[in-house]
Every structure is written in C-alpha cells, then in structure tokens.
C-alpha cells in the first residue's frame, strides 16, 4: 500500500473513532432524565437500567451533590422520599431511581431519605468539589 493511501486509511479510522466517541457521549447524556425544579434546587433522579445507570453515574461529577440509594447488600433502591433542609426552604422530592443529581446553592444541608419505613439522615456541605452521599438501607 502506498504511503498516501495508508495515510488516507489511517485518517478514516481516526475520524471513525472520534465519531463513535461523540456518539457514545451524546447517547450517555440523553440517557439522563430531564432536570426538574423544586424551589432553588434542580434535580434528576433515575438510574434504572444499565444505560441510564451508566449515564447517571458518569454525570455525577458535573453536579454539586449526588445521592445514591441502595440496600445493605448493594442492590439499588428506587422510590425514595427525600427531604433536603438547609440553605433556603426545605425541598421534598421523590427519587424514582437509585441515583439523584442535584444542582443547588452552596451551603450546609441535611438530607433525609426514607424508603420502606426506614430513614437515614446525613449532613453535607456543598460548594467546591462535587459531593456524593451514599444511603444504605
């Protein structure tokens, strides 16, 4: 194969790789449920199914606070009642999946999660690097 033809083939392979990476990124972003708003907080909860779970976990680094809900054995939990108190008025939401991504003002918060009659509470300071709270029931 001539050097010029080899260069053309290599360029095509490189473009195909870039296109595949961009497609994967778009697919991951589209798998995250749309954001909802409750007072000063916007959030998206999901993570049911492999694609959505992968996309939600990848998006965690782009949000000030993320919440994970699971049983003690590691199995994910959905349908969790969440109350967020702290900076601003209390915010209540229903987590329809095991991962919640939250955009909220910097400050100190208490997060209470309730499912199947079990309640867990954690305090967190939001601001700077993204934070993750892991709730095990």
pLDDT band at 87 (very low <50, low <70, confident <90, very high): confident
SS3 92: strand
3-state secondary structure of 39: coil
Cα dihedral sign, 122-94-75-132: negative
As a whole number, the mean pLDDT across the chain is: 84
In angstroms, the CA 86 to CA 114 distance is: 18
pLDDT for residue 47: 95
Rounded distance between C-alpha atoms, residue 92 and residue 34, angstroms: 17
Name the pairing type of β-strands 99-103 and 41-46: antiparallel
Q: Which fold has domain 33-136?
A: Immunoglobulin-like (2.60.40)
What is the residue whose two structure tokens read 């959505």? 52
Q: Is the separation of the CB atoms in 136 and 70 below 8 Å?
A: yes
Over the stretch 18-76, which tens digit does the pLDDT of each residue have?
A: 343 433 334 444 689 999 998 889 999 999 999 999 999 999 999 999 999 999 999 99
Nearest to 112 by CA among 124, 103, 104: 124
Whole-prediction pTM: 0.77
User: Hey, how many other C-beta atoms are within 10 angstroms of the C-beta on 131?
Assistant: 17
Rg of the Cα atoms in the chain: 20
């Amino acid at each position: 194969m001539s050097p010029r033809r080899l260069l053309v083939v290599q360029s095509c392979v490189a473009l195909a790789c870039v296109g595949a990476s961009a497609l994967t990124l778009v697919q991951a972003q589209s798998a995250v449920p749309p954001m909802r708003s409750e007072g000063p907080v916007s959030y998206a909860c999901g993570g049911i199914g492999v694609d959505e779970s992968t996309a939600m976990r990848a998006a965690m680094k782009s949000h000030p606070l993320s919440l994970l809900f699971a049983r003690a054995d590691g199995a994910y939990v959905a349908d969790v009642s969440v109350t967020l108190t702290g900076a601003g008025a209390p915010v209540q939401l229903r987590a329809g999946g095991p991962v919640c991504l939250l955009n909220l003002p910097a400050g100190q918060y208490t997060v209470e999660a309730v499912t199947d009659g079990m309640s867990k509470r954690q305090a967190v300071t939001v601001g700077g690097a993204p934070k993750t709270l892991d709730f095990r029931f």
